[in-house]
A = this chain, B = another copy of it.
């Protein structure tokens, strides 16, 4: 984020809240004690920083919070709105990349690509002619939890593979023809693959729980590119171990960067290190979006990707 353009913004102090040199309260206290205290905060990554009442209490000069991430579960939007602190994030910059990664993991799990990779690299192919078959992508019923930007792009891609798309979200979307399920449990019961593409909030924490896994069943597959805590990880591992679901593709985990070691020995699981949002191109796009939003805020123009508009 430390691009020259950001640094040249007039009379503004920006700060990164990642890999802080000092504990957060000290860092914030030092920033607001400056002669020209920061009016905007840019949260890069943000997994370790929560923008909540105590953060805002400590930074009365801050009137705009920009988060470079896609999710905003670390920002108390209601508290920001109550205090007149504007909030923006990177908007849909990541959506296509996350959708691509989700579809890549879905194909990978169904067709056993990473498992075949390990098999070939181990040098076992010449000795073992037979190899466990994967399963077809075409015709699979894919239930998407959360049909926002990312979920919609996943659906669009999977339609081209001949998948049947179902979805669950807070409310039905009349602009799509996919079958809507108001209950995640019912969605799981009718789906071969369940894709978690919703935001994390109190309603969606452990939205995939023991009952939903049970409904998905022994041939079912979970793909999670939302947040780790959208899935009850302990129950997921238990279901995988006992063969009560068939496999999983996981880009996110409940206690990142910790991944439960039990998953390491499972051949029917594909795991990536929360990289669905990251490509070399998206990093540049995020920088541009960050700068454009800051420029808009400081020049009194409407924010480009607002979550809470300036008062």
A contact set with B: CB distance below 8 Å: 96-97, 100-101, 103-105, 107-108, 111-114, 116-117, 119-121, 123, 125-126, 129, 131, 133-138, 156-157, 159-162, 256-259, 261, 264, 270-273, 275, 278-283
CB pair B273–A120 under 8 Å, yes or no, is yes
Known contacts A104-B113, A136-B279, A157-B160; decide if A126 and B258 are in contact (CB<8 Å): yes
Which residue of chain B is the closest to A137 with respect to CB atoms? B100
CA distance A105 to B134 in the complex (A): 14
Known contacts A133-B279, A157-B161; decide if A101 and B111 are in contact (CB<8 Å): yes
CA distance A211 to B112 in the complex (A): 33
CB pair A136–B101 under 8 Å, yes or no, is no
CA distance A69 to B261 in the complex (A): 40
CB pair A270–B117 under 8 Å, yes or no, is yes
CB pair A136–B281 under 8 Å, yes or no, is yes
Known contacts A100-B138, A136-B96; decide if A272 and B117 are in contact (CB<8 Å): yes
Which of B114, B129, B134, B270 is A278 in contact with, Cβ under 8 Å?
Answer: B134
CB pair B117–A114 under 8 Å, yes or no, is yes
Contacts of A104 in B (CB 8 A): 104, 107-108, 111, 113
CA distance A43 to B272 in the complex (A): 40
Which residue of chain B is the closest to A271 with respect to CB atoms? B120
Contacts of A117 in B (CB 8 A): 114, 117, 270-272
CA distance A273 to B96 in the complex (A): 30
Known contacts A104-B104, A134-B280, A261-B123; decide if A272 and B113 are in contact (CB<8 Å): yes
Distance (Å) between the CB of A144 and the closest chain B CB? 15
**Can you show 29 pairs from A to B with CB atoms below 8 A apart?**
A96-B136, A96-B137, A97-B111, A97-B138, A100-B107, A100-B111, A100-B136, A100-B137, A103-B107, A104-B111, A112-B275, A114-B114, A114-B117, A116-B273, A116-B275, A117-B270, A120-B264, A120-B271, A120-B272, A121-B271, A126-B257, A131-B275, A133-B275, A133-B280, A135-B281, A136-B279, A136-B281, A136-B282, A160-B160
